[in-house]
Amino acid sequence: MQLSARISIVVACAAVMSMFTSTLDAALIGHWRLDEGTGTSAADASSLGNTANKVGGGGSWVTSGAPAGNAYDFPGGGGNYFVANVGAALPIGAAERTMIAWINPDQASQDRKFVGYGTSGAGNAFNFTVEGSGIRFRHGGGNVTYGGGDVTPNDWYHIAMRVNSGASLTGDVDVFINGVQAAVTGTASGGTGITLDTALGAGEFRIGSNFQNNSFDGSVDDVQLYDTALSDGDIVALFNNPGFSLNDLSGNVPVTILSTDFTGRTVAGATASTIAWVVNGVADPGDLTAVPVGGGTFGGLFDSANAQGHFAPDRNTGNEGPWSVDIPVLVEGSDVIVQDVVLDWQHFNNSGVFQGPSRSVDWTAALIGSLSGQVATITNLNVSGTSGIETLTFAAPVTLSGSETWTLQILAEGSNGTGNNTGLDGINVIGFVTEAAVPEPATATLALIGIAGLAMRRRRRAA
């Protein structure tokens, strides 16, 4: 799967406010962005500057499709990882801490650690794996699984692992998947009842493995380590802003202007209704209608089992022609500045089933004013795979004023003769609101969700 730069969605009002009121004095003791794209080391962006060096010759840099710039793909097996000598700065015992990582596993169940440190004694390890289709905390005296079924191969997930003040047992560790706290779904051996006593060991913090050299099978990006327990809102803020630490978020960073993951949408012909939007500085766009561009067959929107929660036109962009959708962007109050349009996309076959073979599509985003006409456009050509997330970044941020009506037009075109029906699993428009505005859920139902509200669904696609 090819996933591009930012997977960013504002989850709800309280969470977004936390982006600006979070614990910005939290002690960041390691931030390895893994953006190098070449070489055998990963710089530490924290003030400690503990560079992580590559061990082993396997693996390769991922130079496109990662949540935040580049990433590193580990081959599994043993002896391939990055190691940073953090030393006595590592939180030990039951001390507060939070570890953050973006991961894209190649297997749903593997005893291969994507991040960790400590030793092998009971309660002395702080290692995390993808197992049981969830996240497993292996602590040396057994293990605890969180969110079984929530993590599947070939998708990116934001994982946060937290130890709160007052923790004493291995069951006191919290795990968040894509900004939402995951429930414990399984235990083994000592499980949740072992004393949490993480050991310093050699003071090594490993990415893509642990002290036992069990290398991860998959990609890792944007690893962060704090010696404090971040709040739920802090974790959501980091999920919404890949590549940024909490210290970075004290500056002016982009926010979501409008977004949806099409959960709960209904379909009638070519129109999707009951779309749940999250908006910031703009009005709820309401329903969306797919429009065929040019001649050729057009069957409206798929409403098959696989197409639930998608905006999936029944139009083969390779053989039948392009389709487009116009999204109203009605500015409320202050000007809105649009920087990126992030499309979570999925290929379907002619029966509305997830497409297996890799296909290509050209994505275009255009901003059109009722008075100004088309003011900006960006096209990403030959986006290939079966699904992914594509970020379309305008050459310069575009200011939308409330003095005219704006439309964001999305266009999908086949980039070659190979057939595919390309649909959307989510849309996220990123930019700035010139005066502080709190994103609001678009319906009363969403208002009840709070900080656990909308999250961009990262789930397994057809490979």
CATH number at residue 206: 2.60.120.200
Question: Which among 233, 327, 340, 237 has a CA at the least distance from the CA of 282?
Answer: 327
For the segment 400-422, what is each residue's pLDDT rounded down to a tens digit? 988 899 999 999 998 665 668 99
d(CA 411, CA 182): 36
Examine the domain organization and report whether 223 and 315 are in the same domain.
Answer: no
Count of structural domains, the chain: 2
d(CA 267, CA 273): 6
Examine the domain organization and report whether 359 and 317 are in the same domain.
Answer: yes
- 3-class SS letters over 227-253: CCCCCHHHHHHHHHCCCCCCCHHHCCC
- Please provide the size of the chain in residues: 463
For the segment 165-181, what is each residue's pLDDT rounded down to a tens digit? 999 999 999 999 999 99
What is the mean predicted confidence (pLDDT) over 210-223?
87
Examine the domain organization and report whether 288 and 400 are in the same domain.
Answer: yes
Q: What local confidence, expressed as pLDDT, does residue 21 receive?
A: 35
Examine the domain organization and report whether 205 and 259 are in the same domain.
Answer: no
Examine the domain organization and report whether 261 and 354 are in the same domain.
Answer: yes
We report the CATH number of the domain holding residue 268 as: 2.60.120
H helices within 43-128, ranges in order?
none
Examine the domain organization and report whether 223 and 365 are in the same domain.
Answer: no
Examine the domain organization and report whether 286 and 430 are in the same domain.
Answer: yes
Kindly tell me if the per-residue pLDDT of 14 is higher than 80: no
Q: What local confidence, expressed as pLDDT, does residue 416 receive?
A: 62
Q: Which of 213, 229, 245 is the last residue of a domain?
A: 229
What is the mean predicted confidence (pLDDT) over 375-394?
89
For the segment 113-128, what is each residue's pLDDT rounded down to a tens digit? 899 999 989 999 999 9
Lowest mean pLDDT among 106-110, 305-309, 336-340, 345-349: 106-110
Kindly tell me if the per-residue pLDDT of 456 is higher than 70: no
For the segment 87-96, what is each residue's pLDDT rounded down to a tens digit? 999 999 999 9
195, 159 contact by CB (below 8 A): no
Kindly tell me if the per-residue pLDDT of 135 is higher than 70: yes
Q: What local confidence, expressed as pLDDT, does residue 20 receive?
A: 33
Kindly tell me if the per-residue pLDDT of 358 is higher than 50: yes
Find the domain containing 38 and state its range.
27-229
Enter the pTM of the model. Answer: 0.57
272, 287 contact by CB (below 8 A): yes
| Residue at 114 is within a domain | yes
Examine the domain organization and report whether 223 and 271 are in the same domain.
Answer: no
Q: What local confidence, expressed as pLDDT, does residue 233 receive?
A: 84
What is the mean predicted confidence (pLDDT) over 72-80?
89
Q: What local confidence, expressed as pLDDT, does residue 319 receive?
A: 85
For the segment 239-286, what is each residue's pLDDT rounded down to a tens digit? 988 888 888 766 556 778 999 999 999 999 999 999 999 998 899 999
Q: What local confidence, expressed as pLDDT, does residue 315 receive?
A: 94
| Residue at 82 is within a domain | yes
| Residue at 11 is within a domain | no
Question: Which among 337, 344, 341, 407 has a CA at the least distance from the CA of 371?
Answer: 407
Examine the domain organization and report whether 300 and 369 are in the same domain.
Answer: yes
Residue appearing with tokens 């069990």? 214
Examine the domain organization and report whether 109 and 159 are in the same domain.
Answer: yes
Q: What local confidence, expressed as pLDDT, does residue 443 receive?
A: 28
Local confidence band at 438 (pLDDT 50, 70, 90 cut-offs): very low
Residue appearing with tokens 């493995």? 209
Q: What local confidence, expressed as pLDDT, does residue 146 receive?
A: 95
| Residue at 239 is within a domain | no
| Residue at 22 is within a domain | no
Q: What local confidence, expressed as pLDDT, does residue 459 receive?
A: 33
Examine the domain organization and report whether 222 and 318 are in the same domain.
Answer: no
| Residue at 1 is within a domain | no
Kindly tell me if the per-residue pLDDT of 385 is higher than 90: no
Q: Which of 182, 211, 229 is the last residue of a domain?
A: 229
Residue of 79 and 259 predicted with greater confidence: 259
Please give the mean pLDDT across all residues of the chain: 84
| Residue at 208 is within a domain | yes
Q: Which of 229, 244, 279 is the last residue of a domain?
A: 229
Local confidence band at 28 (pLDDT 50, 70, 90 cut-offs): very high
Cβ-count burial 278-295 (b if 16+ within 10 Å, e if not): bbbbbebbeebbbebeee
| Residue at 303 is within a domain | yes
Share of the chain above pLDDT 70, in %: 86
Kindly tell me if the per-residue pLDDT of 6 is higher than 90: no
What is the mean predicted confidence (pLDDT) over 17-30?
54
Examine the domain organization and report whether 217 and 262 are in the same domain.
Answer: no
